[in-house]
Amino acid sequence: MRITAHLLTTTASIAALVGCLGLAPSIASADEGADLAKGKELAFNRKKGNCLACHQIEGGKLAGNIGPPLIAMKARFPDYDKLRAQIDDARKNNPNTIMIPFGPHAVMSSGEIDLVTKFIHTL
Amino acid sequence: MKKIATALSIMLLAATPFAAQASPDDDLKAFRSYFTKKFPDVPKGDFINGVYSVDAASREQWEAFEEFPSYEIAVDDGEGKFHKKFANGKGYADCFPNYKKGIKQNYPYFDTDSGKVVTLEGAINKCRTDNGEKKLKWKKGTITEIGAYLASLSRGHKVNVKVPNDAKAVAAYNRGKQHFYAKRGQLNMSCADCHYYYSGSKIRADILSPAYGHATGFPVYRNKWAGMGTIHRRYGGCNKQVRAKPFKAQSDEYKALEYFHTYMSNGLEINGPSQRK
């Protein structure tokens, strides 16, 4: 059973890789663009990410300055997973942080955190 | 045996934070010095003006408001209501014999007989029920008018809240301190996060007010409310903003918070009622 599951995930990831690598590039990038737009919307939504409450973001108005401006994110977070972990639960890096534990406190779903992370990583 | 020892030391650890904590007076000195260092340009006494002490841009607009303050009607109405006799012929002045000299600076105080924190609103309503009258609503309306009148007579007096050497008084103070520093709500934020550590920073377009001096100006006319409110009304709003369930006005929790919070403004002048955004 375990082997079957393993096989399945391997097959699935190969399929995903093939998908990304060239069989359907136009569709993949369209999806990517839609994801980024959704991520931005969630990041700017006051009831979801509300990132502008504390961070300056290009294209956002009246941003706060409690946290650092979100710029050069790929240089600051070469590892996408580390950025995602920071957005999911910043307490792991700093137990006293004012940043909201978006994941554990269910302010955003896991899928929404993925979308926000994708968007923030492009800044 | 080892297990018992471990259990005991855990219990001790759990119990020590408050037992080993600094005295209220030490807390106040540290609190005051934190803010005066953080905002070296603000004259010490100016912290009573809340966010306007650290936000030059909105201060101008606020000063214009204060020329014809919206709380003035509340003070006038409060004066009228304060002097209206109860059905039994007595009045508020019988409960607050020193009202003309100013009394707001002494609230909240710890009443050693009842073992409870007494707020000005609590004392107003106790005066009513002792004289056979119904309680007023706690957060807005008449209670803020009478409070505004009494505060206006107390202007210029320095906040003088005391924590007597009484286990229950210290416990109430520590409960308030705990509330102030503890993370709460879905957003996991403490009062201290915004009004201590990040005071002066911007949350969206708003500057966060320093907690030092918060308590001197109540009751307040708040533009957002388009009306007057007590400090407990404001506490409820703050708790809701971090998506926490607010406590009831005049609950032991908020009375304890007001006790700690006001103690932290000791030595600053009463300037209530005041106007806020």
pLDDT of res. B44: 86
- Chain B residue at shortest CA distance from A89: B188
Same domain, B168 and B140: no
* Helix residue ranges per DSSP H, B83-189: 92-95, 120-130, 142-152, 167-181
Same domain, B125 and B220: no
pLDDT band at B21 (very low <50, low <70, confident <90, very high): low
CB B106 within 8 A of CB B160: yes
Same domain, B53 and B182: yes
**Domain encompassing residue A92:** 31-121
CB B47 within 8 A of CB B212: yes
Q: What is the pLDDT of residues B124-183, one digit of tens each?
A: 999 999 999 999 999 999 999 999 999 999 999 999 999 999 999 999 999 999 999 999
User: Are A52 and B187 within 8 A, CB to CB?
Assistant: no
A57 CB neighbours in chain B (<8 A) are: none
Lowest mean pLDDT among A83-92, B14-23, B41-50, B262-271: B14-23
Amino acid in position B226: A
Instruction: Please give the distance of CA B24 from its chain centroid, rounded to a whole number.
Output: 16
Higher-confidence residue of A80 and A32: namely A80
Residue A11, domain member (yes or no): no
Check if B194 is active-site.
no
Our CA-based measurement puts residue A102 at a distance from the nearest CA of chain B, in whole angstroms, of 8
pLDDT of res. B65: 85
Residue B8, domain member (yes or no): no
**Domain encompassing residue B76:** 72-152
Global pTM value: 0.86
Same domain, B76 and B31: no
* pLDDT exceeds 50 at position A14: no
Residue B244, domain member (yes or no): yes
- Chain A residue at shortest CA distance from B196: A98
Q: What is the pLDDT of residues B210-269, one digit of tens each?
A: 999 999 999 999 999 999 999 999 999 999 999 999 999 999 999 999 999 999 999 999
A105 touches chain B (CB under 8 A): yes
Q: Residue B229: which of B142, B113, B169 has the closest Cα?
A: B142
Residue B3, domain member (yes or no): no
Q: Which of A62, A98, A100 lies nearest to residue B204, judging by beta carbons?
A: A62
- Chain A residue at shortest CA distance from B198: A66
Q: What is the pLDDT of residues B188-200, one digit of tens each?
A: 999 999 999 999 9
Q: How many domains does chain B have?
A: 2
Residue A60, domain member (yes or no): yes
Three-state DSSP at B274 gives: strand
B187 CB neighbours in chain A (<8 A) are: 100, 105, 107
User: Are B204 and A52 within 8 A, CB to CB?
Assistant: yes
CATH number of the domain to which A100 belongs: 1.10.760.10
What would the mean pLDDT of B83-89 be, rounded to a whole number? 97
Domain endpoint, select from B94, B125, B152: B152
B193 touches chain A (CB under 8 A): yes
